[in-house]
Structure 1
Amino acid sequence: MSTRIMEKIRMISGKRIFGASVAMAALALAVPAAAQVPGYEAKVDAKLRQVKAGIAKGPFKSDWDALRGKYRTPEWFRDAKFGIFIHWGPYSVPAFANEWYSRNMYVPGNAAYKHHVETYGPQSKFGYKDFIPQFKAEKFDPTGWVKLFQQAGARYVVPVAEHCDGFAMYASDFTEWDASKMGPKRDTTGEIAKAARAAGLHFGLSSHRAEHWWWYYMGRTFDSDVNDPKNDGLYGPAAPMGLPADKPESWPDGGQLQTWMPPNKAFLNDWMARTAELVDKYKPELIYFDWWTAAPSFEPLMRDTAAYYYNRSAGWGGQGIIAYKGGQFAEGSALFDMERGKTDALKLTPWQSDTSVSVHSWGYAKNDSYRTAQSLISDLIDIVSKNGNLLLNVGPKADGTIPDEIAQVLQGMGGWLKVNGEAIYGTRPFQFFGEGPTKSGQVRVGGQVEESAVKGYTPADIRFTTKGDNLYALGLERPKDGAVLIKTLYAGTPYLTAPIKSIALLDGGKVEWEQTPKGLRIALPAVGDGAYPYALRIRTR
């Protein structure tokens, strides 16, 4: 290892680094951690050749203009509206704070670091790898999971195939550290795919592999098992981040300039091979990429990935979807996603919002807080009215069971959708998404606003959807006295081609209404506290 790199590592850590740590950092920066797999390099080379050939012979090319010209979000996605995201892995064993435990337990000063030492002992004796044998998933029932998701009203399922921790939740040819060989010793991703498709749900998957480049770096700054060569397949590369590299990469992120040591070619090749493996083995209809693929070094891979995946999915008879949440894809070449965020505008192209039933963690964490079914139904309505889909995350426990708090929320949403789903599924936006005083908050990059900025809806917050000859008006907060005024639909409004002929409340009950110059006045049945949003079917003929 060069003196320059050693000094950079010391600089970023601000601490003396153990000799073994320095040696392992050198190895990690030289080769990908997965090189421990027999025949690894030949496997990667073969997969990269396959990717190159797949791009060359298909209709999609590795060029942003070409990708924009051909990509169209498929109708099944636009009709589905609601999907389930799944964060599940060894981090559900400690179940402390959030799914970043695998990284934070190696960060001195972090609450997870302190908790780990106090609960399990020093990281040199008990590391993240030691949670894997405890991650048995002995009660994992993919058919039962899918049944619950169907009860919730979801139309597609997206498990995380690999989180930033580097433990693949699928059967991989490029690492020994996966769920089919360790822990559950089951291809959990494949089993979820099989169960979802058998039930008629669409299947996607998510990859957070890019962040693994630097994920475990802090474990190299003190005596921990990250420095043991036997564990490179899980922890490596554990490369430095945020240091003054020879050619650092910088790009704007949320108004700040982020600077990183760029990943080397070996890691980028590994990422491409693993991504193509997921495409080829599981044939996902949707792939979600986490944020660090927005790093400049990944730009050629983003084009190649889109071209290869879209060509492969075209061969299966469909259009694949790539969901992204940064700036790594040219607008119109993939599906924009807003993590824990929404928009105050009707978007002309389809988009997606992903959030979690649990408030503080995406994975299962003890003593977490949970959203209510009522609040998530309101979010779903708001998102759908603006041409979006909701991807709602659940975090199962280490044994494979879904927490009761989450199951109850999903069942509550499903009960509402069973009655009011015609105003959601298969709909398209109205000329105007809705009306009302509540705003989502301060706008961020890409028109996104943080979901936490929304303090609650009022009875004046109305959203619209359409399907065929039907216009649906959905109230995000049902008034106790039943009095509703929809200003957009006043007598003579240009948003309707004819006067209103009939209005029906989808959950039943008598509705009185009058279209006046000030708006559409409606009298709904009075309700008590905690009533769910309502949906009205409005017809002009």
Structure 2
Amino acid sequence: MNRRKLVKNLALAAPAAWLPSVVAGLNWSPLAPTRGVAAGTFQPTWTSLAQYQTPAWYRDAKFGLWAHWGPQCQPERGDWYARGMYQEGSDQYKYHVEKYGHPSKFGFKDVINEWKAEEWNPDELLALYKKAGAKYFVCLANHHDNFDLYTSTHQPWNSTRLGPKKDLVGGWAKAAKKQGLRFGVSVHAAHTWSWLETSQRADKNGPLAGVPYDGKITTAEGQGKWWQGYDPQALYAQNHPLSQNSQDNGMIHRQWDWGNGVTPPSKEYCEKFYNRTIELLDKYEPDLVYFDDTALPLWPVNDAGLRIAAHMYNTSTQRHGGRNEAVITGKILTSEQRKCMVWDIERGQSNEIEPLPWQTCTCLGQWHYDRRIYDHHGYKSAQTVIHTLIDVVSKNGNLLLSVPIRGNGSIDDQERAIVEGIAAWMQVNSESIYGTRPWKIFGEGPAQENAAALSAQGFNEGKGKPFGAEDIRYVVKGKTLYATALGWPANGRLLLKALAVGGSHYAGDVKRVELLGSAGNISFEHTQEGLALVLPSPKPNAIAYAFKITPA
């Protein structure tokens, strides 16, 4: 049956309330043509992508804020809710059963229907984030839950039709432009295929033992329900056999790079992801795309990620008069892949100056909002954030920080106070951050001597020795050296050992030393032991202390 005849037959058979979504849904058919890669210098191969050069705007920006916000924030029960709610006996499963009902009757699709984002004010939030010193802003475009947060002609399950019924990416993009911030999106949906396999399960115990969850339900089962006319498989993508050891909740981490027995994703699934992402890039023209993938999405089982990268680089080059301004981030990159994009380290830092720009991504709490963190005052402090930023920047990196957003679209009062604390420090000390480059060494002090090694894509955050007054981080801007102390010495004196006369790092004389946020110059003595500073009283803040060192 051809598509025109199918539309006609549906119109005759369907009730009026059902018709619009079904007819419109034909635009999301797997028969929809694949969009081509934009013409240009970059081809969808690792060899071609290795031409990439990180744009100056990103290297200078150093600090971005992120709204990792979607329907999984609605329950306010933490990260990966759409997966955890189907894990019998888990905290999120128990919470879900108590709050919403059994996942055979009230699944994640129904959580989406609960989500209205009624207090979302992107203009107000981005004005606050600009005040806090962010130079770029990133919003969630979709997560592993497969729900698009923008106007999508390839995914019927999107925020303009369901849930908030708003173009969230469009709203964020408009607000970012108003504040003069570079705009980015994060894309996570490549992993829905295996990540949501938990929705194919059933309880093993209790009164509903053996009753399947809703992961494999069909369009026909929606007759008379709120989701009538929508195909749940367009969301859950579970019409496939389970991956090996799928009942092991930790197996997903070992299969993240599409190996170790994962059921191979279908061509239809891969092309749908490709088309959705290309449409996102073309419609909203982000400067940055964060991929939550090993290397690129669906690599190495499909070349969709390579095609997306080439398309983004080529279209950016076209828009910017022959200059590629685009940034793509990926995780667990080989040395060759790091030439093609920006390496992202999740919740962790490198322990050395990286030869190429990189990024740390982390969060004040959990990635998806968790009310318990608020109740127990468990957020990172402004000091922890600033210390991380200073350390990362000294090693040639950027910091992307997520501020968890409640389901309703607001941030809570504790988070707001933290962001204001970051703003207060940045408004005085940002010249030691923006536009800087690594010095000969990134720093000195006991914290680095006890630094924790990276694990997988990162996750060494908070595992080392806490920063203190002897921990110094260095950066340069032109001929000016900035030395930032991550604590205030009790005796009011600070020794910068790396600046020792006759040492291998600093050959010249020092003309002047200033403490940002404090009036006047700092008294100093330059000796073979180092640059000894006599600090003023009182100290200008309670977070970190940036000294501006001007050579003679």
Do they superpose with TM above 0.5? yes
Aligned match of 1:518 in 529, 533, 536? 529
CA contact (8 A) 2:338 2:356 kept: no
* Equivalent residue number for residue 25 of structure 1: none
Instruction: Give the Å deviation of 1:528.
Output: 7.8
> What pairs up with 1:442-521 in 2 under 5 angstroms?
442-444=452-454, 448=458, 450-509=460-519, 511-521=522-532
| 1:91 lines up with 2:97 in the alignment | no
* Equivalent residue number for residue 193 of structure 1: 173
| 1:437 lines up with 2:446 in the alignment | yes
2-structure distance, mates of 1:156, 1:146 = 10
| 1:305 lines up with 2:314 in the alignment | no
Instruction: Give the Å deviation of 1:159.
Output: 0.6
* Equivalent residue number for residue 420 of structure 1: 429
Aligned match of 1:228 in 184, 203, 217? 217
Q: 1:42 to 1:268 in 2, by over 3 A?
A: closer
CA contact (8 A) 2:257 2:299 kept: no
* Equivalent residue number for residue 399 of structure 2: 390
Q: Secondary structure at the match of 2:156?
A: coil
Give the unaligned 5+ runs of structure 2.
1-21, 203-211, 220-231
Q: 1:239 to 1:525 in 2, by over 3 A?
A: farther
Q: 1:241 to 1:326 in 2, by over 3 A?
A: farther
> What pairs up with 1:24-423 in 2 under 5 angstroms?
37-41=25-29, 44-45=32-33, 48-51=34-37, 54=38, 57-68=39-50, 70-96=51-77, 98-222=78-202, 223-230=212-219, 231-237=232-238, 239-243=240-244, 258-291=260-293, 293=296, 296-298=299-301, 300-317=303-320, 318-327=324-333, 330-358=337-365, 361-368=366-373, 369-423=378-432
Q: 1:121 to 1:105 in 2, by over 3 A?
A: same
Instruction: Give the Å deviation of 1:491.
Output: 1.5
* Equivalent residue number for residue 4 of structure 1: none
Instruction: Give the Å deviation of 1:134.
Output: 2.3
Instruction: Give the Å deviation of 1:480.
Output: 3.2
Q: Secondary structure at the match of 1:379?
A: helix
CA contact (8 A) 1:214 1:239 kept: no
Instruction: Give the Å deviation of 1:107.
Output: 1.4
1-structure distance, mates of 2:301, 2:275 = 13
Q: 1:241 to 1:525 in 2, by over 3 A?
A: farther
* Equivalent residue number for residue 537 of structure 1: 548
Q: Secondary structure at the match of 1:50?
A: coil
TM-score of the two chains, using structure 2 as the length reference: 0.84
1-structure distance, mates of 2:519, 2:290 = 42
Q: 1:509 to 1:432 in 2, by over 3 A?
A: same
1-structure distance, mates of 2:383, 2:241 = 44
CA contact (8 A) 2:215 2:238 kept: no
Instruction: Give the Å deviation of 1:405.
Output: 1.4
CA contact (8 A) 2:254 2:260 kept: yes
1-structure distance, mates of 2:89, 2:169 = 35
Cα RMSD for the two superposed structures:
2.7
Instruction: Give the Å deviation of 1:99.
Output: 2.5
Q: Secondary structure at the match of 1:514?
A: strand
1:494-516: CA deviation from partner (whole Å, max 9, x where unpaired) = 42342001000011045221111
More helix by share: 1
Q: Secondary structure at the match of 1:345?
A: coil
Q: 1:183 to 1:308 in 2, by over 3 A?
A: same
CA contact (8 A) 1:87 1:160 kept: yes
One-letter code aligned to 2:309: A
Instruction: Give the Å deviation of 1:443.
Output: 2.2
Give the aligned length: 495
CA contact (8 A) 1:481 1:527 kept: no
One-letter code aligned to 1:205: V
Q: Secondary structure at the match of 1:180?
A: coil
Instruction: Give the Å deviation of 1:351.
Output: 0.4
Instruction: Give the Å deviation of 1:226.
Output: 2.2
One-letter code aligned to 1:232: Q
CA contact (8 A) 1:162 1:206 kept: yes
CA contact (8 A) 2:29 2:154 kept: no
- What percentage of residue pairs aligned between the two structures are identical? 36
TM-score of the two chains, using structure 1 as the length reference: 0.86
Q: 1:447 to 1:203 in 2, by over 3 A?
A: closer
1-structure distance, mates of 2:309, 2:111 = 35
1:107-154: CA deviation from partner (whole Å, max 9, x where unpaired) = 112221122112222112222222223211111111011111111110
1-structure distance, mates of 2:71, 2:182 = 26
Name the stretch that deviates more: 87-96 or 330-339. Answer: 87-96
Instruction: Give the Å deviation of 1:321.
Output: 0.9
Q: 1:242 to 1:372 in 2, by over 3 A?
A: same
CA contact (8 A) 2:353 2:395 kept: yes
Name the stretch that deviates more: 377-386 or 59-68. Answer: 59-68
One-letter code aligned to 1:495: H
2-structure distance, mates of 1:371, 1:251 = 25
1:395-448: CA deviation from partner (whole Å, max 9, x where unpaired) = 211111111111111111111011011100111111111111113633236895
Q: Secondary structure at the match of 1:342?
A: coil
Instruction: Give the Å deviation of 1:36.
Output: 8.8
Instruction: Give the Å deviation of 1:259.
Output: 3.5
CA contact (8 A) 1:217 1:239 kept: no
2-structure distance, mates of 1:418, 1:530 = 12
Instruction: Give the Å deviation of 1:493.
Output: 3.1
1:325-383: CA deviation from partner (whole Å, max 9, x where unpaired) = 1238722000000000101100111000000011xx11111111200001110110000
CA contact (8 A) 2:72 2:368 kept: yes
